[in-house]
Structure 1
C-alpha cells in the first residue's frame, strides 16, 4: 500500500497542532502589504490590522502560483518517494489557486486534485474528514478514498460574519453606499459558500454578541450537521464572551467535538477583526 499524503492551502486555516499530528502538507498563499509579498503563515495577523489603522487600506492577497505548486509537490516526492498525493484545494470559484495546481501537475503522476469548493473552516472540514478516513481505514484503496472525499465536498457548510464592513469596503467587496448604510444601521452580512462562490445570503442587525447566536441558530436550522464535529472560525479581536456563548450553544445542540480555529492572515485580510464563522459536515 503506497503512502497517501494529504495537501491543502494555507487558506484552510488548519491549526498547527492538527497539521503536525496528521502530517498534512500546507502550501502558502500570499499577502501583499507595503509592497512586500508575505507567505501566508509568516505574517502576524495583528500586522494586518495595524496596517489598516495606519493607511485605511487592506493588504491584497494572491493565490499560490503554478511554479510554487510544482516545487511543493516535488519536495513532497523527495521526502516520500513512493507516495500518492491527494490535494484538497481552495474553491476554484473564488481563487485561481486550484487552476494553478491543475497547471502544475500536467506532467506529474500520482497527484489527485479535489476542488473543495470552500474556504477556511469549510475547506478545513473536508481535509480533516480525509484525515479521519485514513485513520479509520489505513489500507483504504485510493479510488475509494478520493471518491469518498469528493462525495463529502457538497456536504461541507460554512457561514461567517465579517468583523468589520470597512475591511470589505477597503478590499473592494462592498460599495461605499452599502458600507455607509450597513454601518449606520449596524447591519452585518452573512456570507456563505454557494456552489463554491462567496455569497451574502442574509443580513443581521445588531451587536455581534446577539448576531452571532442568531447565525448559529439559523445555520443549525438550515443544515443537518453531523453532531460528531463542529468548527468555529474566528478572526483576532472576537470578544471572549461571544466564544463562550457559542461554545455552550453548540454543546446544548449535542455536538460532541467543538474546535475553535483562528483565521490566518489571508482570510483575516477579508474578514477583518472580530469576525466569526461556523463550519461542519451535513449527515
Structure 2
C-alpha cells in the first residue's frame, strides 16, 4: 500500500497542533494588515488579529507563494509516495488553480483536490482523505472521491457587519449603508464553493432562526437518509459563539455538535461577530 501525505491550508480551520496530531501537513495562509504580511497561526494569533481589526487596521488576503507550496510538497514526498493536496475552493480563490498548475510538474505524485469547500467543510474533506487513505485508496482515487462528493455540504453564516464585504467589493456601499440603517443582518450561504446571499433579516436573533430553519430544510431534503455531521463556527469573541452552539445543540437535539473558529482569511472579509452553521456528509 502506498504511503500518502495529506496537505491542506489554514482555510480549513485546522490548527498547527491539530495538524500534528492528525499527521497532516498544514500550509499557513498569508494575510495583510496595514501593509504587513502575516501567516495564520505562525506570525499572528487569532486574538491579535482581532485586536488589530478592532483598532481600525486595513486587512486583505493573499495566496501562498508557489515556493512555500512546493517546499511543503517536497517535504512530504521525502517520506511519502504521493500527496493529496486540499486547498480552499477554486470559486473563492485562485490558490487552487495555482496548485493544480504546479502539481503538473510532479508526474502524478501530487493530486490537487478541488472539492468546492472552505472552513468546516474543507476540514471534513481532510478527515475524509485520511479515512480513505487508511482504506488503501491511491492519491488519485482519493481525489476523485472527494471531488465526486464536493457538493454534499452546506454552510450558512450571519454577518454582523458589512463593512469589510463593502471594502472588498462584495457588496455595494449603498447596500451596506441601507442594511446598517435598517438593522439588517445578511445571511449568506456557501454551496458549491460560491458565497451567495440567502436572506436579509432584522437582528442577529432572527438571523440565527433563519440559519437553523435553512439547515433543517437541507437535512430533510438534500441530505435526507444520509449520514451527516453538523458543525458551528464563529469569528471573534467565543462567548456568544458558545451560546450559539448551545442553541444549535438544543434545536437539533445533538450534543456532539462542535464549534470551530472561522479562519483568519475568511475573517478578513466578514469581520468579528459572525455565527455560522453547516453540515456535510462524511466517509466512514
Instruction: State the TM bucket, normalised to the shorter chain.
Output: 0.7 to 0.9
1:172-222 CA-partner distances (Å, limit 9, x unpaired): 33222111111111111122224322111221221x234223212212213
**TM-score normalised by L of structure 2:** 0.86
1:30/1:37 contact within 8 Å kept: yes
1:233/1:262 contact within 8 Å kept: yes
2:60/2:269 contact within 8 Å kept: no
What's the counterpart of residue 115 of structure 2? 116
Distance in 2, matches of 1:162 and 1:245, equals 14
1:238/1:273 contact within 8 Å kept: no
Distance in 1, matches of 2:4 and 2:180, equals 48
What's the counterpart of residue 34 of structure 1? 34
Distance in 2, matches of 1:180 and 1:142, equals 48
Distance in 1, matches of 2:259 and 2:251, equals 17
1:11/1:29 contact within 8 Å kept: yes
The range that moved more, 159-168 or 105-114, is 159-168
The range that moved more, 45-54 or 29-38, is 45-54
Distance in 2, matches of 1:156 and 1:228, equals 9
1:12-54 CA-partner distances (Å, limit 9, x unpaired): 1124453222111111221111221111223123333333343
2:228/2:280 contact within 8 Å kept: no
Alignment of 1:110-259 (within 5 A): 110-135=109-134, 137=135, 139-206=136-203, 208-223=204-219, 224-225=222-223, 228-237=228-237, 239-240=239-240, 243-255=242-254, 257-259=256-258
What's the counterpart of residue 46 of structure 1? 47
**TM-score normalised by L of structure 1:** 0.87
**Matched residue SS, 1:203:** strand
Distance in 2, matches of 1:252 and 1:33, equals 38
1:245 Cα deviation from its structure 2 partner: 4.6
What's the counterpart of residue 60 of structure 1? 60
Aligned length: 276
1:126/1:156 contact within 8 Å kept: no
Distance in 1, matches of 2:17 and 2:250, equals 23
**Matched residue SS, 1:154:** coil
**Matched residue SS, 1:11:** helix
1:262 Cα deviation from its structure 2 partner: 0.9
Distance in 2, matches of 1:213 and 1:41, equals 32
Q: Structure 1 residues 17, 257: closer, same or farther in 2, change over 3 A?
A: farther
Q: Structure 1 residues 45, 141: closer, same or farther in 2, change over 3 A?
A: closer
1:166 Cα deviation from its structure 2 partner: 1.9
| Structure 2 unmatched ranges of 5 or more | none
**Matched residue SS, 2:113:** strand
1:84-135 CA-partner distances (Å, limit 9, x unpaired): 1011121111211011111222211311111121221221222222233345
The range that moved more, 223-232 or 268-277, is 223-232
1:169/1:179 contact within 8 Å kept: yes
Q: Structure 1 residues 21, 151: closer, same or farther in 2, change over 3 A?
A: same
| Structure 1 unmatched ranges of 5 or more | none
**Matched residue SS, 1:168:** helix
1:9/1:89 contact within 8 Å kept: yes
Answering whether residue 8 of structure 2 is matched by residue 8 of structure 1, we say: yes
What's the counterpart of residue 82 of structure 2? 84
Cα RMSD of the aligned pairs, angstroms, is 2.4
Distance in 2, matches of 1:252 and 1:94, equals 31
